[in-house]
Amino acid sequence: MPVPKAELHLHIEGTLEPELAFALAARNGVTLPYADTEALREAYRFSDLQSFLDLYYSLMAVLRTADDFTELADAYLARAAEQGVRHAEIFFDPQAHAVRGVPMGVVVEGLGAALDRAEERHGISTRLIMCFLRDESAESAMATLDAAKPYLDRIIGVGLDSAEVGHPPAKFREVYEEAARLGLRRVAHAGEEGPAAYIREALDVLGVERVDHGLRCLEDPNLVARLVRDRVPLTLCPLSNVRLRAIDVLEQHPLREMLSAGLVATVNSDDPAYFGGYAGDNFDAVRGALGLGEEELRTLARNSFEASFLEDDEERRER
């Protein structure tokens, strides 16, 4: 039995497996620029974050109806459950769907239908976190937050994703201030390709409670000391880091060093359909490559629940 864990860094659009992409394309009359699932998988050779994002956004063209989003989320939850995930905090990218004329309501209601029965069907508790695309304008992010207002009963927080370098957290100061006023939890991708300074800025300017990736924090010892002291969790994604060339090989992943430093590190899958595995696969991969022991694996699982937005009483039940 895989160890029970919470998954805290998962883009639902990044769970779109080639088979489902082709099925949805056929259903929705969308033509994909690949002959078949094999040819599509062949394209999953990324050189950096942007080369992945280009494919990630283009494949989303198949997601049109609420049912499409329900099917997508249900497939993820089934896979996650098999790998020991008991709680999932799921990102979605509303702006990436709005450009195709798919409104917030369709996305949220579609995902919500799957999440509503996740506990019963898959034994997984869930939360939804809406991400802003940082390579779009702050005005667009603010309009997106505004469009989400009718759905805030289904959305617990906001995040920041997409192309990091050149789009520092401070660009979204006002958006995060408004999110805080609305009572939303705040996270942001930082220090994936961007520098440690972006992590610091996400904490200081956006008030984030948890850092997505945070891989490059090790470049700044003072920042590490602060993250340790304040128990700010990092949602690491080891297989993603290898596929997007943030590190050369998994054996070089600093996870072990991070745990030794006392950082609240967690292991997650990011975009599992694209990066070679789900949450349990990421656990297995780091265990093999880094030779993690039982104690370290237990710490990672414990950290995942501590770092979640579950309340303490809910946390105990999930574990």
| Of 125, 126, 162, 304, the one binding ligand ES4 by CB under 6 A | 162
Q: Which is nearer to Zn ion, 89 or 270 (CB)?
A: 270
- Would you say how long the chain is, in residues? 319
Which CB sits closer to ligand ES4, 241 or 310? 241
Closest to ligand ES4 by CB, 246 or 292: 246
**241: contact with ligand ES4 by CB under 6 A:** no
Q: Which residues pair with 161 in a beta bridge?
A: 133
Three-state secondary structure call for residue 293: coil
Return the active site residues.
192
Kindly state the helix (H) or strand (E) to which residue 186 belongs, with its residue range. Answer: strand 185-190
Residue 201 interacts, among Zn ion, ligand ES4, none and using kind-specific CB cut-offs from 5 to 8 Å, with none
CA 114 – CA 121 distance, rounded (Å)? 9
Question: Which CB sits closer to ligand ES4, 13 or 74?
Answer: 13
How far is the C-alpha of 132 from the C-alpha of 156, rounded, in Å? Answer: 14
Is 11 a binder of ligand ES4 (CB under 6 A)? yes
Contact yes or no for 124/81 (Cβ under 8 A)? yes
Which residue from 5, 7, 14, 304 is in contact with ligand ES4, where contact means CB under 6 A?
14
CB–CB of 169/139 below 8 Å?
no
Cβ-based neighbours of 311, under 8 Å, separated by 6 or more: none
**Does 161 engage in binding with ligand ES4 (CB under 6 A)?**
yes
Q: Which stretch in 49-57, 179-187, 262-270, 286-294 sits in contact with Zn ion by CB under 5 A?
A: 262-270
Q: Which listed range, 96-104, 180-188, 218-226, 267-275, lies at the site for Zn ion (CB under 5 A)?
A: 267-275
With CB under 5 A as the contact rule, the residue among 13, 136, 164, 270 that binds Zn ion is: 270
Out of Zn ion, ligand ES4, none, what residue 296 binds, judged by CB under 5 to 8 A for its kind, is none
How many other C-beta atoms are found inside a 10 Å radius of the C-beta of residue 41? Answer: 14
Residue where the block lists tokens 């984030």: 208
Across the beta sheet with 85-92, what order do the strands follow? 5-11, 85-92, 125-133, 157-161, 185-190, 210-213, 234-236, 265-267
Stretch that binds Zn ion, among 31-39, 218-226, 254-262, 264-272 (CB under 5 A): 264-272
Q: Is 268 in the site for ligand ES4 (CB under 6 A)?
A: no
Q: Please report, as a single letter, which amino acid is at residue 230.
A: D
**Cβ closest to Zn ion, residue 34 vs residue 91:** 91
Residue 19 exposure: Cα atoms within 13 Å on the Cβ side: 2
Would you say 60 and 97 are in contact if contact means Cβ atoms under 8 Å apart? yes
Among ligand ES4, Zn ion, none, partner that 49 touches (CB below 5 to 8 angstroms by kind): ligand ES4
The reply to whether 94 sits near ligand ES4 by the rule CB under 6 A is no
| Cβ-based nearer residue to ligand ES4, 127 or 310 | 127
Per CB under 6 A, 189 contacts ligand ES4: yes
Query: Please, which of residues 45-74 interact with ligand ES4 by CB under 6 A?
Result: 49, 56
Told to check if 71 binds Zn ion by CB under 5 A, we report no
Q: How many CB atoms sit inside 10 A of residue 301's CB?
A: 21
Quote the tokens at residue 80. Answer: 């996650």
Contact residues toward ligand ES4 (CB under 6 A) are 11, 14, 49, 56, 161-162, 189, 192, 240, 270-271
Contact residues toward Zn ion (CB under 5 A) are 270
